[in-house]
Structure 1
Amino acid sequence: MAPARGPGNTEVYVHEIERTTEYADFIQKLIAFHEKRGTPFEPEPRLPTMHGHVHVDLYRLYKAVIEKGGYDELNKVQKAWGLLAGELGMHYVDSKGMGQLSFQLKQDFYRYLCAFWIQDQYGKEPPPREILEQQSCASKHGPVLTRTVENFKASARRSGEETPTKEDRQPDSTPASGNRASGRLREAPPQRVPFQPETGPSRQTRHASSQHGTPTSNASHNTHGAQHNHLLPQHHNPNSPIHIIQAQQNALRGVSSSYTPANSETASRLGESFDPRPLITVPLRPVNTPGNNPEEFSKRQRQLRMQAAGLASARPVMPGAGFDGPNIYTRCLQSLRSGIPAEQSFALNHLVKISYERGDKYKFESFLGLAEGLIEKGLEIGSLFHDVDWQVAYFGEQDSSNIAVLDGLNGTDDILERIAKLPRKSVLDYMQPAEFSDRLLRITESILTIRNMVMLVENAIYMAEVYPLKDLLCIVLHLPNLEMLVEVKHFALDIAEQLTPWLMMDSTDPLYQTLLNQLGSSDRGTILTSMRAISRISMNLDATNKLQNVPAVVLQNIMNWLLLNDEELMDACLDFLYQYTAVVANVESLLKAVDMEHVVPHLVRLLAHGAKRVKEDKILEPERKAPCSEEVASLPQDLQEQLTNTDEPTRCFRWLQSLFEEDSESHITQIAIWQAYQGSFGALAGGVRNTLSAADFIRNVSHVFVNARAQIIRGPGEGQRFIIEGIRARKSPVDYETKEEYMRCQWQVVKGPFSKRCNHFYLGGEKMWRHILAAHLRVTFSDDGEVEDKEITTFCDWLGCVKYPKPTRMKLSELTRHIKTHVPAAPKRSLTDGSEPLAKRQKRSYVTPAKAMTLAWEQTIITRDERNPKLEQAAGIPLSAVLVLRNIARNVVKTEAEEELLKQHEMGGEGGGWNEKLFRPVMVRLFEVMTENKALAGYITSLLQLVQDD
């Protein structure tokens, strides 16, 4: 898979699972570890990234965490898990998404790898799962390596998970200044109300309640309280909520407000162990009284007076009053069975709605009799157009003399013969009575309900065993071709499409023959649904769908439909042909019904259906950058002459522009550039055009190159160095005006026992060519610039050339043509007047561009595996076409037609079998598709093996 595009249209690496042998062994170890530990384990957890969900490679995550020091060390570094996610190829642009991603990655390591990491890396027994996997990684319970049950409980108390003990509370004598210093408000001291048990009766009299606040009663209560003080338990907590509530209740009962509790330091602690009885919640039910419900009591008095006078009640109680009745499902089922038209209309109207809205849960097996009732209602359609009243019998052997009785147990095998014998009623297509339209509407709704419900797989499996439904489909599909019946026929075909994957049908099955007859229709929807229903016969069963006895006219129509520009129809036809050509006998019939020599080229043409041309650049050699050098090239002769007669500082500017260029990552020492300048113009000192001083020269460098600056650096083990950063010396000089690069002459010049390169620079190939002829080959030019084409004995001494290594007798024109191969052509200029030369737009000279190769291929529709996104799989019409071709190539050699063709060859006819005859004309195209279409390459290879083996 190509790298994904990140921010700024840059290529980023996307995390994927590398399914190596080490990865498989690691996952097996983790599975065994978690099974032994009793913790859940997910081998490939999913994480949401900016490029979609990715599956985490736990092996790479484990190695990456170990390299960074382990789980505990990684948690000490802020945003470490986010950086780790980026290194593993998980990306997010916004910080919110990256934070969620890093937390989930940390959680995956904590759940699935943390315990294994402790055992694998340190040889220790991991903490129990109750304090490791069953806790969140965000819990503050300390490092997992040192986590034990004891320190886990301690950290839980610190985090507030347990109620603090009495010793943990802040003492009451804490000064208020401490609270203010911590930024908190001053807290009120806890109230200390003594425990006052109630000794009086649970219900007081009015007299006692009226005298509740008298001193006498208060004194009595105080006396009782004083008597019970010595019975208080030892660990009684006066600050508990229950005690406070009881104290408040006692205060309402008459506890003295002037009671002063005893000193806590001198009081007895025998009552502290008392544990008060917990409060019991008693459910309350309102009771009707004359005060809160006077209407109810007045109604009762009125009824009593009427009974005493002997009068009957004005409103008798209706039967079933107060009962809500059955639910809507049972109501519809019973209404459908009643046979009453109004009730059936009500039931079918609601059944259609329920089947649409609750189709995922509305099942036939939950409502016994619903399927039979809908089928019986649908069979009434026969009486509208034929003189017959279809009935379903679910008992014993059927009487074949009565064609209206259908076999509900085994299905009616002769249903098509019975339909053919039925007399037809005269029904107008555009005008019907109201009763006729209402009956047809109810029948259509019953069939529509079946159609909606069989869209659920459980209902389709259930209805596949209800044989009267197949008879109903045959009856509906053999009704007259009227426009009023188009809708109900399409519903029947939809039902058949959902049932056929669960049915086994041979060539004599009435439903199979009925569906084949529908392929002669002119309705596109009928053809599509019928063909899909036939192709899916016994698709979900072990039995093989042989598709026998398909009429020749149907096969011819299918070949004609393949020529149409209709993808859905082509797809249905290819699915049918794939199932059909899988049987040898069917291939025999296909050879007799259609001209296969025209069909095969068309199927090969469909291999490129929807194809598009894809181009991709492959980098053969990466871009290289030449290292900077302190060596400065010498000025060419023509530039030397021009700059010699130029005043300063212009001469310095042009000299720098010709020999140097900007590079932010390079530098040159000040002494090297100054010596090079002195070497070019130092001989002019004392003349009228003196050179610049060293300080002025260094300042001029920053004027020519904006990013250049003088600096002082100190390397390890060396002294100070004065450099100019941001520039580098060119390998070859350029013209300061046109920016065209000079070419170095690399002809070998022999001087005594040594040889060296000429190293002269010339601008343009013409000047270089003339220099070689004149200076190195000693060729004389005439006044008009021409040379005589004569034979000479010489050789090419250009560096690295092996064309003429030894002296050879040749004509001068032949040698000059060869020399021009070493000399670059003149740069192309734009045709637009006034445009700048191409040399000014050239890239940096010190960078060698990358060598790339453009690959182009043909790509059809593909699909990708979710577990391995790099794997491209063929799909759609091209895949179906190659599968049909492969079936033909595999089975055509097994037919009787193959034997007859071989006999004709023995008698002097054309050689080869059917594969030779069908596939030889398209062999070139098959090889082309195999070469350019990566997704289809494997299928085409297997096809070619079948053809060539023959």
Structure 2
Amino acid sequence: METHEEAEEPDPEFTAKLAAFHAERGTLLDLQPRVNGKPIHLKKLFDIVAERGGYDAVSAEKLAWRRVGQEFGLGANNAAAYAFALKTVYYKNLAAYEIKTIHNQEPPPKDILENLTAKGGDLLKRTVENFRPPIGNYGNAQDSDASGDESKTPKEEKMDVDEPGSGGRTTRGLRQAPPQRVLFQPDITSSRHIRPLSGHFQSPQPPGNTTSTQPYPNSTSAANLPLHIANYEPRPPMPLTLRGVTTPINNPHLFKEQQRLLRDRKMAAMGRAPAPSTKGMMKPGQGFDGPNIYVRTLQGLRSGIPDEEDYALHHLVKISHERGDKYKFEAFPNLAESLIEYALRVSSLFYDVQWKISYFDDVPHEIDELDGLNGTPDILQRIKALKRVNAADGIETPSYSHDITKIHEAALTIRNLALLEENAIYLANLPQLRDFLAIVLSLPLSPDVTELKYYVLDIAEQVTKFWSMRVEDPLYLCLLDMIKGSSDRGAILTALRAISRISLNLQQPNVLRGVPDAIIEKVFQWTLLQDDELVNACLDFLYQFTAIPENVALLLSHSNALESSAFVTQLTRLLQHGARPHHEKFLTHPGIRAPSSNEIVTVPRDLLVEFIKHDEPQRSTQWLKAVFEEDIESDVTQIALWQAYQGQFGQFLPHKPLLQAADFIKNVSVVFKTANAQIVEGANNKFIIKGIRPRRVPVTSAGRPYLACFWTPTGESACGQFFLIPENLYNHIASTHLGVPKKEDGKWDLDNAQPQQKPLDCYWGGCRIYKRYPDRECSVLRLGVHLKTHLPDSDEKAASQQKFSRTLATQTTMPDASAVKASGQNREAVWSTQTSYPTPVNEHKEATGIPLISLFVLRNIARNIPKAITLIEGGRSSYLTAEDQAKWVEGVDWVDRFFGPLKHRLFWVLAHNPVMAPHVTDLLIWIDKGST
């Protein structure tokens, strides 16, 4: 923001005109005023205030003078004082000039303008007749622009509603409390300095040794003083006893009583009787502070005095907002009735009518009289018969603005207080409230009453749950018209809620009849919107509507919205509204770890040739990874590990020297993080490596396991040869263990096979399948086919550890522990993931919201379709017209027509939404019952 701290050249022409004006007016002009040490240029100040509407407009706006001060860079500290000082500069020098030049009016006399303080505004309306000078000596006090309220009834102002529970004022600040009086208290302590007492007198010192200061200016030393003066010790201080004197200041009551007794004695001495005592008597103007704010607002509203009514409505809005949770109608009789009567004045702004409420049954009601005992059933007909008031469009007079504002305040007060349950019950028992709601909802379309209709709809939403309404009820018809004819989302939403809550707190159910087809079709269409609040209100309305068989019959007869089950399809789609995928992982087959080998395997020759190419310690590192694996629960003795290392690479000495034993043991801990050299104490200490175990089959440097031949004849150990390719392992079993030779063309000669073991069977890891199933025919060909089930695919990629594990997992049955032991490979755990789509739940973990109410509407339709068909075909439905019944199509299975194409969707929700599953089951039962 640009400031005006820089020096600017004054406008000579403006200064001359201003000086001439003040000279003619007889007032003083300060051409160089300063605020907070900064020069204030009058021309610039005059232009800024004029742009904001003038002195009265700036003074009426809260903190406006502070913002004007920011234009001159007056600073943020003590902004209130600087703002008032700037306001005073304008008030003394430019206010009258503004009235004369800008507003073309004659300014007030200087006695009620420049000679007074700059507090307040209304200069354009200030005259000698209507101006009230401040009481006492406070008229010329230097109040800030944040000073307190006026002493009269508050003027019309823009209301800033405080937050509930706030105790601050919203219009102006509070006056500071006066300083506390402090009574004089005499100081009884002595100001004399006391020398500490000693137990004996000091002997005089020689003149040459004294170092004390000279107490007398004419003496040169203590030797010049007399002995009794030099040795003088003052007396100890005596406590000062003070006795209080009764004065009018420190004890006014006692002083007053003493004066009274003195007067009584004088009167008795003169032979006159003492004056009667007035102790305890309430004197005029004392002991009663007046009614509180609640009583004053009630009496002011009922007084009929415009100023008091304005005061009452002004404060009732604040009270209902801040204290609406405790402010009850039953504690203030006639408050609700008075507010309703005041708000009914809105009709006089549009019609030539002044509504009156009559509480007598025997008096015939005129067109402008409302029945305050039973309500007015023909209120809509009376409104149609009223004569409109001719008013120019777009022109709003001050009186009209004032009236509509106060009517809004009355309605807002009722709305705020109706949010309390006790107040809603109280209002529900007032028949004139229904008339008031119907009158406001029937007002012509106008921007001036849009907010008023919002208040009325909010009131209706709170009180309809205590009412039962018939089809011809005026308020019920007005709410339906609001849904049908309004294009305002807020009004439609509140009207839907109000209708859905009819009879909610009563024992008899709500019978939602007389709803036009246009409203039903609109409600169906609104359920397609991405507006959860509106969709929820529409579903509540449809739940009430479809609860009646006659309404379902109306839908079956001639509703276009249900053609091809479009609406039922949308309701089924809403069953999954707000659903979020939930993934649940569960274990289908636990993992099995192959047992460790008791012996350290010898690596195949091709792998050994690869190790020899490297030097230590990389060679030993690769060998350890190929032969051992981590296992925190297993251990290997250090001597066995060292001997296996020597046995594997000792044949290559001295060309390939080995690591020293200590270095080799250290390298084990480097290769495996879980490995740790330990000593098991006992009779003979045992040195082990904890955290590793031997592999049953070695692995390559890339982690690919070798395939071991687990052909184990009865009473013998396994073959134990290793092959990297599954095809080589198969050829080894066929040629070595089954004794199948090959022909010259490379094919197997099955006729000349000579198996090593008899009887012919599968000896892979103790399989013996033909022994377990003796009825099966065994041959070399069948045995060769069976052996392929123990081996992985011949593809090299499928022979890796990961592919091998997945191959085992995809078999018809998971390999058991014996198969894992035979294969020498760990079986990884197999997990399955199940995905569900639950909808939101409440605090009790139950279904709630749009999905639940959608299912309730579907259940109403499925349950009431058979009853509706019976009513239509039997001609017992007085709710349907002859035209409606003529559109009826007989011989149609309506339940199957609506729900048949959607059963697969309902079963999907049943399977994937555990929250809605019980309710969907109930719906499917009703569908099966209603199907023919």
| TM-score of the pair, normalised by structure 2 | 0.59
Task: Note the C-alpha offset of 1:946.
Answer: 1.0
Q: Any conservation in 2 of the 1:857–1:933 contact (CA below 8 Å)?
A: yes
1:934 corresponds to 2:901: no
Task: Note the C-alpha offset of 1:546.
Answer: 1.0
CA distance in 2, matches of 1:901, 1:677: 100
Which residue does the alignment assign to 2:852? 879
Q: Any conservation in 2 of the 1:398–1:405 contact (CA below 8 Å)?
A: no
Match for 1:860 among 839, 852, 860? 839
Which residue does the alignment assign to 1:807? 778
Q: Any conservation in 2 of the 1:473–1:496 contact (CA below 8 Å)?
A: yes
Cα deviations across residues 267-295 of structure 1 (Å, max 9, x unaligned)?
Answer: xxxxxxxxxxxxxxxxx99335779999x
Q: Any conservation in 2 of the 1:793–1:807 contact (CA below 8 Å)?
A: no
Which residue does the alignment assign to 2:423? 459
1:712 corresponds to 2:692: no
CA distance in 2, matches of 1:372, 1:649: 101
Match of 1:666, SS?
A: strand
Match of 2:691, SS?
A: strand
Match of 1:862, SS?
A: coil
Task: Note the C-alpha offset of 1:657.
Answer: 2.8
Match of 1:859, SS?
A: coil
Task: Note the C-alpha offset of 1:557.
Answer: 1.3
Task: Note the C-alpha offset of 1:658.
Answer: 1.7
Match for 1:540 among 488, 492, 505? 505
Fraction of identical pairs, as percent: 43
1:367 corresponds to 2:332: yes
Match of 2:439, SS?
A: helix
Task: Note the C-alpha offset of 1:368.
Answer: 0.8
Which residue does the alignment assign to 1:560? 525
CA distance in 1, matches of 2:398, 2:670: 100
Which letter does structure 1 place at the counterpart of 2:851?
Answer: P
Match of 1:768, SS?
A: helix
| Residues matched between the structures, number | 614
Cα deviations across residues 453-481 of structure 1 (Å, max 9, x unaligned)?
Answer: 10111100110001101100000000101
Which letter does structure 2 place at the counterpart of 1:611?
Answer: A
Map 1:410-559 onto structure 2 (within 5 A). Answer: 410-520=374-484, 521-559=486-524
Which residue does the alignment assign to 1:153? none
CA distance in 1, matches of 2:675, 2:669: 5
Match for 2:574 among 606, 612, 626? 606
Match of 1:375, SS?
A: helix
Q: Any conservation in 1 of the 2:742–2:749 contact (CA below 8 Å)?
A: no
Q: Any conservation in 2 of the 1:643–1:651 contact (CA below 8 Å)?
A: yes
Match for 2:638 among 670, 686, 690? 670
Task: Note the C-alpha offset of 1:859.
Answer: 2.2
Which residue does the alignment assign to 2:929? 949
How has the CA–CA distance of structure 1 residues 353 and 695 changed in structure 2, closer, same or farther, with 3 Å as cutoff? closer
Match for 2:722 among 761, 785, 793? 761
How has the CA–CA distance of structure 1 residues 792 and 873 changed in structure 2, closer, same or farther, with 3 Å as cutoff? farther
Cα deviations across residues 433-469 of structure 1 (Å, max 9, x unaligned)?
Answer: 2212211221111111101110111100110001101
Match of 1:519, SS?
A: helix
CA distance in 2, matches of 1:726, 1:809: 45
Q: Any conservation in 1 of the 2:725–2:799 contact (CA below 8 Å)?
A: no
CA distance in 2, matches of 1:792, 1:602: 72
CA distance in 2, matches of 1:651, 1:771: 30
Q: Any conservation in 2 of the 1:901–1:914 contact (CA below 8 Å)?
A: no
Task: Note the C-alpha offset of 1:767.
Answer: 3.9
1:380 corresponds to 2:360: no
Map 1:619-658 onto structure 2 (within 5 A). Answer: 619-621=587-589, 630-640=598-608, 652-658=620-626
How has the CA–CA distance of structure 1 residues 465 and 697 changed in structure 2, closer, same or farther, with 3 Å as cutoff? closer
Map 1:341-360 onto structure 2 (within 5 A). Answer: 341-360=306-325
Q: Any conservation in 2 of the 1:630–1:668 contact (CA below 8 Å)?
A: no
Task: Note the C-alpha offset of 1:732.
Answer: 1.8
Which letter does structure 2 place at the counterpart of 1:922?
Answer: L
Match of 2:797, SS?
A: coil
Task: Note the C-alpha offset of 1:431.
Answer: 1.5
Match of 2:842, SS?
A: strand
Task: Note the C-alpha offset of 1:769.
Answer: 4.3
Task: Note the C-alpha offset of 1:489.
Answer: 0.8
Q: Any conservation in 1 of the 2:357–2:372 contact (CA below 8 Å)?
A: yes
> Structure 1 stretches of 5 or more lacking a match?
1-250, 254-283, 298-316, 830-844, 866-871, 903-908
Task: Note the C-alpha offset of 1:828.
Answer: 9.3
Task: Note the C-alpha offset of 1:328.
Answer: 1.0
Task: Note the C-alpha offset of 1:370.
Answer: 0.7
CA distance in 2, matches of 1:813, 1:719: 52
Cα deviations across residues 197-252 of structure 1 (Å, max 9, x unaligned)?
Answer: xxxxxxxxxxxxxxxxxxxxxxxxxxxxxxxxxxxxxxxxxxxxxxxxxxxxxx99
CA distance in 2, matches of 1:438, 1:445: 11
1:571 corresponds to 2:536: yes
Q: Any conservation in 1 of the 2:837–2:913 contact (CA below 8 Å)?
A: yes
Q: Any conservation in 2 of the 1:588–1:897 contact (CA below 8 Å)?
A: no
CA root-mean-square deviation: 4.0
Which residue does the alignment assign to 1:917? 897
How has the CA–CA distance of structure 1 residues 391 and 643 changed in structure 2, closer, same or farther, with 3 Å as cutoff? closer
CA distance in 1, matches of 2:663, 2:697: 26
How has the CA–CA distance of structure 1 residues 630 and 712 changed in structure 2, closer, same or farther, with 3 Å as cutoff? farther
CA distance in 2, matches of 1:484, 1:731: 91
CA distance in 2, matches of 1:353, 1:762: 92
Match of 2:689, SS?
A: strand
Q: Any conservation in 1 of the 2:734–2:784 contact (CA below 8 Å)?
A: no
Which letter does structure 1 place at the counterpart of 2:467?
Answer: L
CA distance in 2, matches of 1:630, 1:901: 90
Which letter does structure 1 place at the counterpart of 2:450?
Answer: V
Which residue does the alignment assign to 2:689? 724
CA distance in 2, matches of 1:425, 1:484: 15
CA distance in 1, matches of 2:447, 2:255: 72
Match of 2:581, SS?
A: strand
User: Does 1 or 2 have the higher relative contact order (CA < 8 Å, sep 6+)?
Assistant: 2
> Structure 2 stretches of 5 or more lacking a match?
1-238, 242-248, 263-281, 754-760, 801-823, 876-888
Map 1:11-410 onto structure 2 (within 5 A). Answer: 286-288=251-253, 320=285, 323-400=288-365, 402-410=366-374
CA distance in 1, matches of 2:897, 2:252: 99
